[in-house]
Amino acid sequence: MFSSFCPPVADVLLFLPSCCRCSPLSALLLLMLSSFCPPVAAPASLFCLCPPAASHPSLIFHCPAAALKYTDKHEWVRVEDGVGTVGISKFAQEALGDVVYCGLPDVGTKLSQSDEFGALESVKAASELYSPLTGEVTEVNNALSDNPGLVNKSCYKDGWLIKMTISVPEELDALMDEAAYERYIRSIED
Amino acid sequence: MELGVKDSKLQNSSEKKASLKQTPLHDFHRSQGGKMVEFAGWSMPVQYRDSHITSHLHTRHHCSIFDVSHMLQTKVYGKDRVKFMESLVVGDIAELKDNQGTLSLFTNTKGGIMDDLIVTKTDQGYLYVVSNAGCADKDSAHMQARLREFKAAGHDVDLEYLEESLIALQGPSMARVLQEGVGDDLSKLTFMTSVLTPVFGIPGCRVTRCGYTGEDGVEISVPRDSVVALTERLLANDEVKLAGLGSRDSLRLEAGLCLYGNDIDETTTPVEAALVWTIGKRRRQVRDFPGADIIIPQIKAKTQRKRVGLISNGPPIRQHTPILSPEGRVIGEVTSGCPSPCLKQNVAMGYVETSFSKAGTPVQVEVRKKMVPAVVSKMPFVPTNYYTGH
């Protein structure tokens, strides 16, 4: 979380990596602000202003595509309108191989952060899934029962696993952004 | 999710890599994109660039090469070699035709299975034996001990552990691919027979029509200095791809073949393991193999438990999964299982109380605390295609 280094805009600014596409207006604002608050997250070439989920409903800027946050267990969560969509990362689906079965929870299941909520199975092995946040399961991707391979083919989009409410939004702050996650997988690959 | 291989037999640890044994194909595997893992003290490819399922299906529809050089190859020489071998295994070795082989079992004095292996009675003055990599130390110590006894009793036997590499070429197009490199008419080399022949100009090869996939296939024993060249020559044919331990396991499971250490071990007798057919007709009468006095009575009396096949849908069933009766009583355990790429169902092997062992019997398996229905099934799960010459 990078917001604390720039006091005048600490509540508003959230630096996010290049996966976020911004409206021209927010890009202009960013350019103005960057002369006061030099960006800290060096590798990212594009920043945008994204309100932390659900805590600043009055802000007029929002990202058309919300950013992903990652756990160290390779799940990602994307928050849109107070709902978190959960899936596994490209790194995870590559390591797992062809997914042949998705064991997912029932709608209504209450999860605490890090709770095991299911498993993905390949021919050779099974991998448990761990909840990135505390919340309640509101939707399960039923397309996966006939087409478990979607997790491999489209792990960030059509291969989403569950949607959930977000009881503790602060938990998102502690999750890795894309740049941090990339550093993380490089460190474990060695 | 926790990443890293879950199969207890495979470990991917960079600290161990330094001490792992390597076959002569090791660097070649890596150059072909092989993902190397530890298996029985060896660094072996679990898969290459193709996905597991792609590689598995390629073997069923075309053919694949498996490096099986980690397995132990032994020659047994001497006038008393058959008697020697029969003192260790359950099969009728004397009755084998020249150059015919058979699957057999080393048994211990308690009637348990020490290893499964293939014994071929060559016409070259030796028995040719191929046994599991995971049991190499145990098997060679076992054979050495018996050898000492035999020599002390004045018998004529000797053992030679081979340095040759071993590659398996398995799949329906194997014969077409291999015939280009072999002078003998392969249509005369039937299942479980063996021949010495140059292969693609490489002298000193032995070709045995056998394998571990259920498909028509051969295992080629080739001088280690030539195994890379032979593999490259085979891969020059579009039909042929490399395959690793991952698909080797899913193929053999579909074919209903046991994996030593999972489905059979020193605590399972050949009768419990549904391998009575390996016990020779003459041997049943004479009872002259280790553990015979425990094993033979079991054939008539039946055993408490029996190895069976299981088919299910839903979550895959794996080793150690409990098997329960429809009423919920634990009646056994799964010893190996995987999703079947061919059937798109789950297949497994396990032991159940004998009263539940008939094909078609409904049972339950407990997966992640949930009960899933399963059915006892005949094996092979996928029809085999062994070449009988007809």
H-assigned helices in B236-360: 245-254, 281-286, 292-301
Single out the residue of B328, B283, B96 nearest to residue B194, CA to CA.
B96
Lowest-pLDDT choice from A52-61, A82-91, A107-116 = A52-61
CATH number, domain containing residue B345 = 2.40.30.110
Q: What is the pLDDT of residue A1?
A: 37
- Mean pLDDT of the region B195-224: 98
Q: Is residue B308 part of a domain?
A: yes
Contacts of B1 in chain A (CB under 8 A): 73-75, 88, 92, 96, 119-120, 127-130
Residue A40: pLDDT over 70: no
Q: Which residue has the tokens 């740049």?
A: A179
Work out the pLDDT band at A50, boundaries 50, 70, 90.
very low
pLDDT for res A67: 87
Question: What is the distance in angstroms between the Cα of A104 and the nearest Cα belonging to chain B?
Answer: 11
Q: Evaluate whether residue B49 is within a structural domain.
A: no
Cβ separation B316–A121 shorter than 8 A? yes
In a domain, B259, yes or no: no
What are the residues facing B196 on neighbouring strands? B206
Q: How confident is the model at residue A66 (pLDDT cuts 50, 70, 90)?
A: confident
Q: Is residue B343 part of a domain?
A: yes
Among A48-62, A123-137, B152-166, the least confident range: A48-62
DSSP assigned state of B137: H
> Which helix H or strand E contains B235, and what residues bound it?
helix B227-235
Q: Is the pLDDT of residue A70 over 80?
A: yes
CB B165 within 8 A of CB B224: yes
What pLDDT was estimated at residue B271? 98
Q: What's the pLDDT at A188? A: 87
Lowest mean pLDDT among A50-64, B39-53, B157-171, B223-237: A50-64
- Residue A117 vs residues A106, A134, B369: alpha-carbon distances, Å: 9, 11, 13
- Is A53's pLDDT higher than 50? no
Task: Among A123, A127, A128, select the one facing B246 at the smallest CB separation.
Answer: A123
Once rounded to an integer, what is the mean pLDDT over residues A36-62? Answer: 41
The predicted pLDDT at position A16 comes to: 36
Task: With CB atoms and an 8 Å threshold, state whether A125 touches B52.
Answer: no
In chain B, the residue whose alpha carbon lies closest to the alpha carbon of A115 is: B1
User: How many domains does one find in chain B?
Assistant: 1
Q: Do A97 and B2 touch (CB under 8 A)?
A: no
As a whole number, mean pLDDT of residues A147-170 equals 97
Average pLDDT of B151-167?
A: 98
Is residue B82 in a domain? no
Whole domain around residue B323: which residue ranges? 304-377
Residue B349 within any structural domain of the chain:
yes
The reply to whether residue A125 touches residue B7, judged by beta carbons under 8 angstroms, is yes
- Mean pLDDT for A122-128 is 91
Nearest residue on chain B to A117, alpha-carbon basis: B1
Residue B366 above 80 pLDDT?
Answer: yes
Give residue B7's pLDDT.
40
Cα–Cα distance for residue pair A130/A52, rounded to 1 Å: 22
Nearest CB among B1, B2, B341 relative to A123 is that of B341
pLDDT confidence of A84, banded at 50, 70, 90? Answer: very high
Q: How many CB pairs under 8 A join A and B?
A: 65
pLDDT of residue B17: 54
Predicted local distance difference test score (pLDDT) of residue B45: 98
Q: Does residue B337 sit within a domain?
A: yes
Interface test with B, best of A124, A130, A151 (most B CBs within 10 A): A124
The pLDDT confidence band at residue A9, using thresholds 50, 70 and 90, is very low
Q: Hey, of B1, B54, B317, which one would you mutate to test binding to chain A, going by the most A CBs within 10 A of its CB?
A: B1
- Check CB contact of B15 with chain A, cutoff 8 Å: no
pLDDT on residue A148: 96
Interface of A with B (CB under 8 A): 73-75, 88, 92, 95-98, 100-101, 103, 119-130
The answer to whether residue B281 neighbours chain A at the CB level (below 8 Å) is no
Q: What is the pLDDT of residues B324-341, one digit of tens each?
A: 999 999 999 999 999 999
pLDDT of residue A124: 87
Q: What is the pLDDT of residues B38-71, one digit of tens each?
A: 999 999 999 999 999 999 999 999 999 999 999 9
pLDDT value of residue B4: 56
pLDDT at B263 over 50: yes
Query: Higher confidence at residue B307 or residue A8?
Result: B307
Residues 48-67 of B with CB under 8 A from A: 51-53, 56
Q: Is residue B335 part of a domain?
A: yes
Whether pLDDT at A32 is above 90: no
Residue of A nearest to B245 (CA): A124
Report the range of poorest mean pLDDT among A64-73, B112-121, B283-292: A64-73
What mean pLDDT comes out for the span A36-42?
Answer: 39
User: CB distance from B250 to chain A under 8 Å?
Assistant: yes
Q: What radius of gyration do chain B's Cα atoms show?
A: 21
Mean pLDDT of chain B: 95
Which string of DSSP letters, residue by residue, matches chain A? --GGG-GGGTTT-----TT----HHHHHHHHHHHTTS--S-TT-------PPTTT-TT-S---SSPPEEE-TTSEEEEEETTEEEEEE-HHHHHHH-SEEEEE-PPTT-EE-TT-EEEEEEESS-EEEEE-SSSEEEEEE-THHHH-TTHHHHTTTTTT--EEEE-S-THHHHHSB-HHHHHHHHHHHH-
Is the pLDDT assigned to residue A65 strictly greater than 60? no
pLDDT for position A36: 42
Contacts of B368 in chain A (CB under 8 A): 103, 119
Q: Does the beta carbon of B339 lie under 8 angstroms from any beta carbon of chain A?
A: yes
Secondary structure (3-state) at B274: coil
Q: Does B38 appear as a known binding residue?
A: no
pLDDT over 60 (residue B354): yes
